[in-house]
């Protein structure tokens, strides 16, 4: 197995040999330009992105870092316990299944970026992006991704979809949703529309004067 430096050099060499820019490679590989640049510059990257790029070029990919995933799982469990949440309560807040939290904390299954973003948005967990970067990649820059549901539901919020025990599911790891998909909290949509109507009425009265 080549070293990370060796893998990175091979990836850069393969791209340059084919005279391919970052944008063209992104279109063909399915990765983002930012992800490719992060890999080549040795910044915080997602191991999944690295594996995808290695497979694209036919380069031996690095083994999945299960030991690092276990450290992440232990960290998340500790932060959850300090925050005073049960797995069920945290699952409801993140809109995932209980199993997703269990898989994360026991390092049984690699997490998606979407799941880690949901966890990062819960302030009581006091997570830093550097804790998640090895599995989630670069810190989100777009407003739509970093504030995907606009508000974080409480542990007692009513579920939209449920497990057998009533816990909310919006973002199961074994679902067909792609990491990073935006999830809109429909419960606040009515309030947003009401504000919009009030603003429109205000402008109508103001302009009419």
- Topology annotation, domain 4-57: 434 Repressor (Amino-terminal Domain) (1.10.260)
Q: What residue spans define the domains of the chain?
A: 4-57, 66-186
d(CA 181, CA 198): 30
Task: Give residue 97's pLDDT band: very low, low, confident or very high (50, 70, 90).
Answer: very high
Q: What is the pLDDT of residue 188?
A: 34
H helical segments located in 22-167 = 22-29, 33-40, 47-57, 66-83, 87-94, 98-105, 113-120, 129-136, 143-146
pTM score, two decimals? 0.50
State the average pLDDT over residues 172-196: 38
Q: Output 204 or 114, whichever has higher pLDDT.
A: 114
Q: What is the pLDDT of residue 43?
A: 64
User: Is a pLDDT exceeding 50 seen at residue 59?
Assistant: yes
Q: What is the pLDDT of residue 120?
A: 93
Q: Output 142 or 176, whichever has higher pLDDT.
A: 142
Task: Give residue 50's pLDDT band: very low, low, confident or very high (50, 70, 90).
Answer: confident
């Amino acid at each position: 197995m080549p070293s990370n430096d060796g893998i990175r050099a091979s990836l850069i060499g393969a791209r340059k040999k084919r005279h391919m820019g970052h944008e063209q490679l992104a279109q063909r590989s399915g990765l983002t330009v930012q992800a490719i640049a992060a890999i080549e510059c040795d910044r915080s990257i997602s191991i999944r992105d690295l594996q995808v790029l290695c497979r694209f070029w036919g380069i031996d990919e690095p083994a999945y870092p299960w030991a690092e995933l276990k450290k992440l799982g232990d960290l998340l469990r500790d932060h959850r316990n300090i925050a005073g949440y049960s797995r069920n309560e945290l699952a409801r807040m993140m809109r995932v299944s209980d199993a997703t939290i269990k898989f994360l904390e026991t390092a049984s299954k690699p997490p998606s970026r979407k799941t880690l973003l949901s966890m990062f948005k819960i302030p009581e967990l006091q997570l830093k992006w550097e804790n998640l970067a090895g599995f989630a990649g670069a810190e989100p820059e777009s407003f739509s991704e970093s504030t995907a549901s606009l508000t974080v539901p409480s542990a007692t919020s009513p579920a939209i979809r449920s497990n057998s025990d009533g816990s909310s599911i919006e973002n199961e790891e074994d679902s067909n949703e792609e990491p990073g998909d935006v999830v809109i909290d429909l419960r606040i949509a009515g309030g947003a529309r009401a504000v919009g109507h009030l603003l429109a009425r205000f402008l109508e009265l103001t302009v009419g004067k």
